[in-house]
Amino acid sequence: MTVEDSSSSSSSSNSSSTTMNGITMPNSSDSSSSSSSTPTNTINSSSSDNNNNNNNNNNNNNNNNNSSSSDSNSSSSSSSSEYFISYGDPSVHALMLLDYVRVFGYAAAVSSLYLLFRGKIILDVGAGSGVLSLFAAAAGAAKVLAVEGSPAAAAMLQQQVQHNEQQGKIPTGVIQVYACTVEDLHNYPEFSTSSSSSSSSSSSSSSSSSSSKYIKNVDIIISEFMGFYLIHEGMINSLLHARDNYLREGTGLLLPCAARLLLSLCSCSSKDIDNTRCLGSYCGFSFLPLQQQLQQQLQQQLQQQHILTGTPLVRQLPPAACCCSAAAAAVELDLYTITQQQLQQIIREVKLNVHRSATVHAFALWFDVTFPGYHRPAAAAAAAAAAADGADDVALFKGPPPPPPSPVAAARFAAAVAAAEAAAAAAPPVNRSEGFVTIEEATAAAAAEAVAAAAAAGVPPPPLVAPGSKEAVTLDTSPFAAPTHWQQQLLLLQQPLYAAEGMQLTLQLQLQQQRNNPRFYEVSVQVVDAVMPQEEQQQQQQQEQQQNQ
């Protein structure tokens, strides 16, 4: 991971700012409790993604193998080829299958909505091992189009499907495997028309117009597109391409349908990062200068490691590491309306309020995704209230709960439910005695493993939902939830920052898609303003006065 600090190129003589532990802030004489001048010298903590190697320790990223339509130059094509090759490794899929929190999140969502799967056409974008396609089949889907861009993974997926058919676990012929990217699905022979071959070189929007009516009326698109910091590897672009070209108008659903990227301060000792002891305080003495040199050395090592592997710095943080500031929802995506163009550059202003004094070493990023379903306003309101008054530390530091569904998401869900209930009333009762695996059975098995993983980590288990309840499910990757293979991304500060209780930081988060490799982003967090509590301001003024005497 590359960690760059822009302060090396900025002047330290600006009269309107003061550097505190490596973070440039306004002088206390220019600050007030409500507002503060914006400093011109700031520190960037950033990560630049340069390569793709998903086999670094067990930090494999789980973006299931589809090409972004923006891969246009030779560098992008080469990287895309490496991307698909990497997902031909069976150990990558084993790692993801053993992430039972991830698996349970999807199983619970399908189980909650199984009425909406019954007799429907499902598109699995980046099918990988096929677990999501199997869930869809177990929920009663009429047809599951399992699209996988890695040739090796697609071959393995075909074997998985045939094996489960032979074992009598799923109906024969429900899951169909397509060894191509979702962007090329309209060129697949059985979905092509006589004119499609001549128009295959045209844009995706125009060439997809010749696709069959069958593929243009997908009822549900399910995809596990998320990567580190949510959008690493650009799998989300394939989901959006599928949405724009194949999802049924009005009643078609996306699973998941909303996503958030959250940002927090992180107070992590060196052992949380590289298993070395923190020497800031030692036998009653301060070894802070040595610790700062160790921190700089660690950054250089991590930068070199990132250049070689392309993997961001991700670690599973203990909850206590992020109990300084309340996490903020920095980026919120409505997957029904977000566009690929809007994802090329994301810039957000984020405010973090410090609720517990701590020495901060990094910024931490994690995400959650929410599936269609009825929102629980009472539970969400209770969690928000607990966070507001600090009654529940986890609720406070974890950040705000996911918001209610967007108007577009709510309207689509309501229409899909109405159509499914009408179809169920008109159809004969479903015979569930064939001996196939049911979605309830699959979900119960995943739930047991997810609960055990949460217990081992000492965190609350993921919420359980009743089959067919149509309740919205959220998959959470925060330090306060059961661990997942995504873990949390760290953006290290060059020097620690002491954050006093009551301080408010104004940050700028930027995610910039790389031009030569659209699968990767440069991620940076810049401190643009800081308002210290009144007591801290007075103490700093007194110290400055003493120094000037």
* CATH number of residue 256's parent domain: 2.70.160.11
Question: Does residue 287 fall inside a structural domain?
Answer: yes
pLDDT band at residue 82 using 50, 70 and 90 as cut-offs: confident
pLDDT tens digits along 300-328 = 776 666 555 556 788 899 999 999 999 99
Q: What is the pTM of this model?
A: 0.78
Which pLDDT band holds residue 92 (cuts at 50, 70, 90)? confident
Strand 258-266 to 358-370 pairing: antiparallel
Query: What pLDDT does residue 549 have?
Result: 66
Residue 358 resides in a domain: yes
d(CA 475, CA 471): 13
Strand partners, 422: none
Q: Mean pLDDT: which of 102-111, 416-425, 459-468, 530-539 is highest?
A: 102-111
CA distance 292 to 46: 18
Q: What is the DSSP letter of 208?
A: G
Residue 493 is inside which H or E element, if any? strand 488-499
Q: Per DSSP, what are the bridge partners of residue 94?
A: none
Distance CA(87)–CA(356), nearest Å, equals 42
Decide if 379 is inside a domain.
Answer: yes
pLDDT confidence bin for 17, thresholds 50/70/90 = very low
Domain range for 411: 6-548
The rounded mean pLDDT for the chain is 78
pLDDT tens per residue across span 357-411: 998 989 999 999 999 999 876 555 555 555 554 445 777 899 999 999 999 999 9
Residue 31 covered by a domain: yes
pLDDT band at 27 (very low <50, low <70, confident <90, very high): very low
Classified as helix, coil or strand, 66 is coil
Alpha-carbon torsion angle 267, 272, 277, 281, nearest 10: 10
1 part of a folded domain: no
Say if residue 413's pLDDT is above 90: yes
How many structural domains does the chain have?
A: 1
Asked, for residue 214, whether it belongs to a domain, the answer is yes
What is the C-alpha to C-alpha distance for residues 81 and 88, in angstroms, rounded to an integer?
Answer: 11
Burial class (CB in 10 A: 0-12, 13-18, 19+), 432: exposed
Q: Would you state the pLDDT for residue 15?
A: 33
